[in-house]
C-alpha cells in the first residue's frame, strides 16, 4: 500500500493561499492599469493645455533654432505673465493665420524700434544682440515705428533670411499662442531656450 503524500497544510488552506496570491496579482495589475490611465490623462492635459511639441520649419531663427529642430512651447505662460523682450514666441502669421511663425520679441507696446544698416535701436539705444552671429546679420533698414498697444515687434535671429515685422509689421497679441521654452531634439541641443 502506497503512502499518502505528506503536506504540511491542509487542502483548504492551500486553496486559500493560491486565491490570495491570485487576488494580489490581479490587484497589482489593476493598480498598474489605473496608474497608466492616470499618467496618460495627465500627459494629455499637459500637452493640450500647457505644453505642445513643435517642429521648427525653416532657418529664420538660426543659430538659436535649426530647421527641423523639435521644441516644446508653453501655451499657458502668457495667461500668467506678460510677453517680454527677448522671448521666442510662436504665433499665427498675420497674413495667413493657417501658418505659424516663430520669432524673437524685440519691442513691446509703446517701444520705439528703428533699424539702421542692420543695427537695431530700441527707444534710442542700440541693442546688443549676442544671439545674432555676424554671419547672420544683414544691412536692411527700417524706419522708426512705435509698437502699437497689444502688439509686438518680432525679428528672426537669422536676419538675412527672416520674414518678420520688417515685412508684415508688429504682431497683435491675439496672434501669439505660445512661448518656446525647451528643445528636445536633436540630442545635442537639448535644454532651455534663450
Q: Tell me the catalytic residues.
A: 60, 103
Q: How many CB atoms lie within 10 A of CB 27?
A: 10
Cα–Cα distance for residue pair 194/190, rounded to 1 Å: 12
Instruction: Dump the DSSP string for 70-131.
Output: EEEEESSHHHHS---TT-EEEEE-TT-TTSEEEEEEEE-TT-EEEEETTEEEETTEE---TT
Residues 6+ apart with CB under 8 A from 99: 92, 93
Residues 6+ apart with CB under 8 A from 124: 112
Q: CA geometry: angle at 72 spanning 86 and 111, to 5°?
A: 20
Amino acid at each position: 500500500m502506497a503512502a499518502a503524500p505528506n503536506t504540511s497544510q491542509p487542502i483548504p488552506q492551500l486553496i486559500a493561499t493560491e486565491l490570495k496570491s491570485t487576488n494580489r496579482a490581479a490587484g497589482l495589475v489593476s493598480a498598474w492599469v489605473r496608474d497608466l490611465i492616470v499618467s496618460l490623462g495627465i500627459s494629455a492635459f499637459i500637452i493640450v493645455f500647457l505644453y505642445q511639441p513643435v517642429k521648427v520649419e525653416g532657418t529664420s531663427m538660426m543659430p538659436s533654432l535649426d530647421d527641423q529642430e523639435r521644441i516644446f512651447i508653453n501655451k499657458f505662460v502668457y495667461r500668467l505673465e506678460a510677453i517680454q523682450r527677448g522671448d521666442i514666441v510662436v504665433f499665427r502669421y498675420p497674413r495667413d493665420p493657417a501658418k505659424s511663425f516663430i520669432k524673437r520679441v524685440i519691442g513691446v507696446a509703446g517701444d520705439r524700434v528703428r533699424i539702421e544698416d542692420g543695427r537695431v535701436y530700441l527707444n534710442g539705444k542700440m541693442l546688443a544682440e549676442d544671439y545674432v552671429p555676424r554671419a547672420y546679420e544683414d544691412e536692411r533698414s527700417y524706419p522708426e515705428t512705435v509698437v502699437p498697444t497689444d502688439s509686438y515687434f518680432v525679428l528672426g535671429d537669422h536676419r538675412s533670411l527672416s520674414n518678420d515685422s520688417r515685412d508684415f509689421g508688429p504682431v497683435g497679441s491675439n496672434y501669439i499662442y505660445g512661448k518656446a521654452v525647451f528643445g528636445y531634439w536633436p540630442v545635442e541641443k537639448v535644454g532651455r531656450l534663450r
